[in-house]
Structure formats: structure tokens, C-alpha cells
Amino acid sequence: MKLAFILIVSACLSVPVFAQQSSGEELSSEENLPQQAPALEQSIKPQPTAKQWLQRLSNSLRQLNFDTSFVVVRNNRAEPYRWLHGIENGRELELISLLNGPRKEAVRVDNTVSYFESNQQPYSVNTNSISGPIPRAFTSDIEKIYQSYDLVEVGKSRILGRPAQLIRLVSKDKQRFGYWVWLDIESGLLLKAAIINNEGELLEQIQFTHLTISEKSNDMLQQLLEAELPNTHDNPSEVTQAQLKWRVNWLPNGFDMLESNQHFVETINLPVDFLLFNDGLVDVSVYVSTTDEAPRKSSINQTGATVLLSQIREGYEINIVGKVPAQTANAIADSITFN
């Protein structure tokens, strides 16, 4: 038996980056130096650092009214989305919807997110960010990213007809993938993102196709304040690692546990233990359930940047899901010990 997982990921091929060069005139003589130096100092503006660019991204995603569309591309498959965000009467509102295929959308009103999918009952959860194709870290605690990634300000290019700044997030230990993000110079909003493996190969990409920034929030968002949203979903029983019959003994530096619970899965008619870890940018999920199947070495399936690893040993099925290299997922699974 195997657990079933539905994975959504990210987006489109990078474009050439053009470095911006500055030029200045030579001073004609030493006598002119005192008079011209102040004018030169005034004309030179300090450029934002890569860290400041990411902080600006986080602020813009929380504070601006925008209506944008983007396409997530992985394994030659494209998924189009529409993304709305706004502030109305002091309330923060957000909507992300998949435009093709069965209905799939999420709405957020302040710290409540509601999910609507065609194959399950709508439900709400208490959180300040939507789980979807846009990394939650971009709207959350940017500081945590710096523990595991080096930030590199590369240069400027043109995305969606707008000047953009490219920032690279490089894994410090090579045990996770790198991210390239292109930010709108005018607003600080995201225009493009790519996930790159340690060999420099593109795994996934998000390419924005439309962006409108406005003074007022979109009418669709304003309707959320009057809409009757589903009740908050009952959280599965929370557990600690001490209560479990197994333990994760290794994760790359920077990963902290965000969630731990046990829930019943109807498709396999068994309880499943679940732990969620995050390094500030990437989620790694660990699922463990009892099984009568014979031991089986690790099998790995990868879609874009998302790895699903499954192995069976000592009467347990272990599944690791996350945007990490297969070697990292395998090392996490192998580190699990049972009481």
C-alpha cells in the first residue's frame, strides 16, 4: 500500500541578465575636485542589498493591492493561475485560483485561509499564508532564509516588460536546491522565480504574465468580507516526537519542525504519523505508517523539483515529500529509527 500525495509546484525558463553599468566624467584638474565632489556624491544613490530586496518583496506582498496572473511550468506542463491581493477596511484579503481543469482555489481573510477543491469538502484553517505555488517564506519570516541560503545580487533584466532585479538564493550546504527570483524594481513584487539544482539545471519555474497594481482592492476581494466561508477544519491530533514510536535523527541544518500530528487516512484505513519541517523556504513532510508489506529499498519519483521517496523497513512505510535533492530525502529517511 502506498500513500497518495497531490503535489503542486513552480514555473518558466530564465532570460539573459544584463548588468547595469555606471559611467562618470573625469575631473579636469585637482583644482576642480573640491567643487565637483559634492555633486558626484549627491548623484550616487546607495543600491539596495539582496537582503533588502527580499524584505521589500515581503512587504509588497503584504501591503499592495495587486491583480496578477502567472504560469507554473514543470516537466513541460503549464498550470495558469490568477492571484489577487488587497487591503480593504484594514483587512488583508487574498485569492489564488487555478484557471484550468477542476476547481481549485484558496482565499485568505487575515489569518484564516479557506480551500475549495472539486474533489473534497471546502474547509478553513487558521494560518497567515496560503499553501500553494508561491513559497510561503516570501510573505513570512524572511530572516530565517538567511540561515540556510547565501543571497547574491546578480544584476538587472527585463521581465514582463518591466525592469527587474535578479536575486539568487544559493544553498550553503548543497543539501537543498537554489532559487532565482526576479523582482519588479518599481514595486518590489515577484515577476519570475526558478528552482535550480546543484548542477545548474532548471527544475521548475513561475513566469508572471500580467500585473496590475491599483490604489483600491479588486471588487472580487471586497466580496470576501461578506461571503460565508467554510468552518475552520478540525486539526488532527497533535503529537510530539517523544510520543511517536519513531524518530527523525537527521535533517540539514536550518530545518525546524512546524507541525506534528496523527490522522486517519480512509484510503488505507490506517492512522498515519506526520511531521512537517521547514528551513525558511522549503517544506519537507515525513509520513510514517505501519505496514505488513515486505521490506523495500527506497524508490524515488520526482516531478519538477518535488521529490517523493518511499521505503519500507521494520514494519513501517516511510514517505518523504519535499523540494529537496533525492540524496537529502534519502538521508532523512535512513536516519529514522524506531523504538
Residue 147 has pLDDT above 50, yes or no: yes
pTM equals 0.81
CA nearest neighbour of 127 among 56, 229, 232, 222: 232
Residue 15 has pLDDT above 70, yes or no: no
What angle is formed at CA 169 by the lines to CA 331 and CA 204, rounded to 5 degrees?
70
Can you tell me whether residue 339 is helix, strand or coil?
coil
Q: In this structure, are residues 181 and 189 in contact, taking their beta carbons and an 8 Å threshold? A: no
How far is residue 15's CA from residue 157's CA, in Å, rounded to a whole number? 8
Distances (CA, A) of 169 to 50, 146, 258: 9, 9, 22
For 317-332, what is the mean pLDDT?
A: 96
Whole-number average pLDDT of the chain? 85
When pLDDT is cut at 50, 70 and 90, the band that residue 182 belongs to is very high
Q: In this structure, are residues 198 and 47 in contact, taking their beta carbons and an 8 Å threshold? A: no
CA nearest neighbour of 123 among 229, 225, 227: 229
- 57-61, 180-184, 279-283: the lowest-pLDDT one: 279-283
When pLDDT is cut at 50, 70 and 90, the band that residue 35 belongs to is very low
How far is residue 158's CA from residue 20's CA, in Å, rounded to a whole number? 12
How far is residue 202's CA from residue 253's CA, in Å, rounded to a whole number? 24
- The three cell numbers of residue 253 are 541544518
Give the per-residue pLDDT at 238: 64
Give the per-residue pLDDT at 105: 95
